[in-house]
Structure 1
């Protein structure tokens, strides 16, 4: 089962554009990551295997979910033709149109990762005026890195893609 949730900001930003971008129209860098596969290494799930810099799970993270989020996290603007401006104080700034582009590609990428994963997963896509991020982790009972209310992440536009049962062992993810 695939479950896609949007917070209000993401739903309003995407509007009728919330359809999923198919694999062949995703940004080349995202397609390359999908081509590397999603692997199960012991109890953790990763993109294309565990990178050498990641160390053994859970490393410095509190749990395996935290380790997976750390290892799988990347900036969407690094893989898309996004113009990142700079405010006078040095803070990056990304237009609303480019935030929507990041959300659309992030959603398409999340759906492809969820389909390719050998175990139930949760993919999290976020975009705001300074960056866009993607991360994912294996769905485990009692471990989540999200608040139940996605609207609490303001000013972040959030999309969550879950693949697997809505509950694992009776415990909501």
Structure 2
């Protein structure tokens, strides 16, 4: 069970995962050791799954961000497993969701350029035996960055 202090701690860490126990304690009106123990408990209980660095895709030469909807021709556990394995091998596919509605999957991709996105679609996704068609959308501008979860 999370209390108000736990929620404030999670919120603070989502904004800055580098906060020390001392800094967390100051923000939460706790001692550094209390803040550190709470963080450790939240990590152990799985509320905090890890810490990552957010990189700038443009500085890495990833100039095209897109969303690709994948529509399957054939469904079944074997096809789903095979498609999931394909997704796991492709670094340009940074997120993948199974969806309700028309599309079966929604993929978030980052590519160097449009020809790279074209190759991903035509040489990787469409040749998969379960894929019927794909629909891609290129991001023109991201108005809101991926933000923290509401706590």
TM-score normalised to the size of structure 2? 0.26
Quick check: which has more Rg, 1 or 2? 2
Query: Which structure exhibits the higher relative contact order, with contacts defined as CA atoms closer than 8 Å and separated by 6 or more residues?
Result: 1
Structure with greater strand share of residues:
1
TM-score for the superposition, normalised by structure 1: 0.24
